[in-house]
């Protein structure tokens, strides 16, 4: 068995407008402050997950203001624990005690307000714990952005004026009173007030995150995934994320061989797409079916389309990989529908900026028609852009079920959605008539 690792505990809260980053509301408004908080949480979790993936530490997210399910939907899979009641000191003390009780040799707590915190600094804190009982990362405002303990020290959190500029000084006093050896990291700024916003802007300017994340939901897609990822890899500055729902073929192996990050998530295709978006680092998100090949130069095309701030969602032109004349007619009908109704589907590789994805609330948690529902909502708030370049999708369902049957099934599902038919029944009905595949059922 692997030796226990130190635990990195991320303290945060759900990004509810009006309840997060309240001191920034005068500058950003309630929605803007909540969006900034969400961006900072994502940035911190990207750092923490990278450290966890490299075996540096274990990871726990200690949250407030929501349920674990809501946190997972917004920020991706992981270990989420609710914060206990009491002041910040009581909540910190409880988290450190829990980590020790669960066998962690040490624990570190960080918040999400310090965008300049980087992995090497966390590693330095872990290294310093070999010679110190306590390691602190001082914040410029008199608090700390990191606290690391070799073992629980409840006395550090007693009689501290939380939220004041005295937090760090009082913590040092408590450590001295207890005879604990304390080490300090370098000072870093927090982002709490309007005058701190240049710190966040500087962090974004130095950000090396890829501008585009390609998210591919899968379930037993070994036959098509390699080609899909090969085309996706041709994009510049692209992050590949495969969200698998429990494949028992070589899907996951193929994804990893292609250099994609693999996330395991259930909840139907909408759950997979949202799980992928939750861990994505890109400023732009592209959702691609596992049997859809993106066009050459797609990354530049996405960025060019999304440079227009009025575009809520974009997509490519629909094309099937079967050249038969009957399917060419299907493509023409789809192009007409997109031109008139502005309703592209998921097999056209939907893409959007992260801020629009957050504004739309991601894909709705429904068992079928999640792409249609998202585009419909986006069309009410902004523009829907259809690129001329085609995304090439497998014609496997059209070939297996036949042109007429597939067309009828798709139109019945759309009509049932608008008429309010139970979506679980629609999913199961479609799966039955299209051969019972997970893809047909809405994966």
> What are 304-327's pLDDT values in tens digits?
999 999 999 999 999 999 888 888
* Cα separation, 217 vs 265, whole angstroms: 9
| Chosen CATH of 7-204 out of 3.10.310.30, 3.90.550.10, 3.50.50.60, 3.40.50.1820 | 3.90.550.10
- Residue-wise pLDDT tens digits, 361-417: 899 989 889 999 999 999 999 999 999 999 999 988 887 778 778 888 888 888 888
Q: How many residues does the chain have?
A: 443
Q: Is the pLDDT of residue 39 over 80?
A: yes
Rounded to an integer, the average pLDDT of 202-213 is 83
Task: Decide which of 179 and 408 is more confident.
Answer: 179
Q: Where are the domains of the chain?
A: 7-204, 212-400
Q: CB of 282 within 8 A of CB of 353?
A: no
Q: Is the pLDDT of residue 191 over 90?
A: yes
Structure token pair of residue 261: 């990050």
Burial class (CB in 10 A: 0-12, 13-18, 19+), 380: exposed
C-alpha distances (whole Å) from 202 to each of 113, 118, 122, 191, 198 are 14, 14, 20, 11, 6
Query: Which of 125-139, 180-194, 199-213, 279-293 has the lowest average pLDDT?
Result: 199-213
Sign of CA dihedral 201, 205, 206, 208: positive
Q: Which CATH superfamily is domain 212-400 in?
A: Spore Coat Polysaccharide Biosynthesis Protein SpsA; Chain A (3.90.550.10)
- Residue-wise pLDDT tens digits, 242-266: 999 999 999 999 999 999 999 998 7
Residue-level pLDDT at 349: 97
- Residue 442: pLDDT band with limits 50, 70, 90: very low
Q: Which helix (H) or strand (E) holds 182?
A: strand 182-184
Q: Is the pLDDT of residue 439 over 50?
A: no
- Residue 208: pLDDT band with limits 50, 70, 90: confident
Secondary structure of residue 384 in the 3-state scheme: strand
Rounded to an integer, the average pLDDT of 63-88 is 92
Q: Do domains 7-204 and 212-400 have the same CATH topology?
A: yes
Which DSSP symbol is given to 201?
Answer: H
Phi, psi of 132 (to 5 degrees): -130, 155
Output the average pLDDT for the chain: 91
């Amino acid at each position: 068995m692997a030796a226990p690792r130190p635990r990195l505990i991320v303290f945060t809260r759900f990004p509810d407008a009006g309840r997060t980053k309240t001191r920034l509301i005068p500058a950003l408004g309630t929605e803007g402050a909540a969006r900034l908080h969400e961006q900072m949480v994502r940035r911190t979790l990207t750092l923490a997950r990278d450290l966890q993936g490299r075996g540096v530490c274990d990871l726990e997210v200690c949250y407030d203001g929501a349920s674990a399910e809501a946190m997972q939907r917004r920020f991706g899979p992981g270990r989420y624990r609710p914060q206990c009641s009491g002041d910040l000191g009581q909540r910190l003390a409880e988290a450190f005690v829990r980590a020790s009780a669960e066998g962690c040799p040490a624990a570190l707590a960080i918040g999400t307000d310090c965008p300049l915190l980087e992995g090497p600094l966390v590693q330095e804190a872990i290294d310093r714990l070999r010679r110190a009982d306590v390691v602190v990362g001082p914040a410029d405002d008199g608090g700390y952005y990191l606290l690391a303990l070799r073992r629980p020290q409840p006395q550090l959190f007693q009689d501290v004026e939380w939220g004041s500029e005295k937090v760090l000084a009082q913590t040092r006093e408590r450590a001295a009173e207890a005879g604990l050896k304390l080490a300090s990291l370098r000072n870093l700024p927090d982002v709490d007030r309007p005058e701190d916003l240049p710190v966040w802007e500087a962090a974004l300017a130095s950000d090396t995150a890829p501008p585009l994340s390609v998210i591919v939901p899968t379930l037993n897609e070994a036959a098509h995934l390699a080609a899909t990822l090969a085309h996706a890899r041709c994009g510049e500055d692209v992050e590949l994320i495969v969200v698998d729902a429990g494949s028992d073929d070589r899907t996951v192996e193929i994804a990893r061989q292609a250099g994609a990050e693999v996330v395991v998530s259930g909840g139907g295709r909408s759950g997979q797409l949202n799980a992928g978006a939750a861990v994505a680092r890109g400023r732009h998100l592209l959702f691609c079916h596992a049997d859809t090949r993106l066009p050459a130069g797609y990354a530049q095309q996405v960025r060019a389309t999304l440079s227009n701030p009025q575009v809520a969602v974009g997509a490519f032109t629909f094309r099937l990989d079967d050249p038969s004349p009957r399917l060419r007619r299907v493509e023409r009908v789809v192009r007409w529908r997109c031109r008139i109704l502005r309703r592209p589907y998921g097999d056209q590789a939907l893409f959007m900026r992260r801020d629009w994805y957050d504004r739309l609330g991601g894909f709705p948690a429904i068992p079928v028609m999640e792409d249609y529902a998202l585009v419909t909502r986006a069309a009410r708030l902004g523009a829907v852009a259809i690129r001329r370049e085609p995304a090439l999708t497998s014609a496997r369902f059209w070939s297996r079920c036949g042109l007429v049957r597939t067309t009828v099934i798709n139109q019945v599902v759309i009509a049932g959605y608008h008429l309010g038919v139970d979506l679980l029944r629609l999913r199961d009905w479609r799966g039955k008539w299209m051969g019972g595949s997970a893809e047909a059922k809405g994966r």
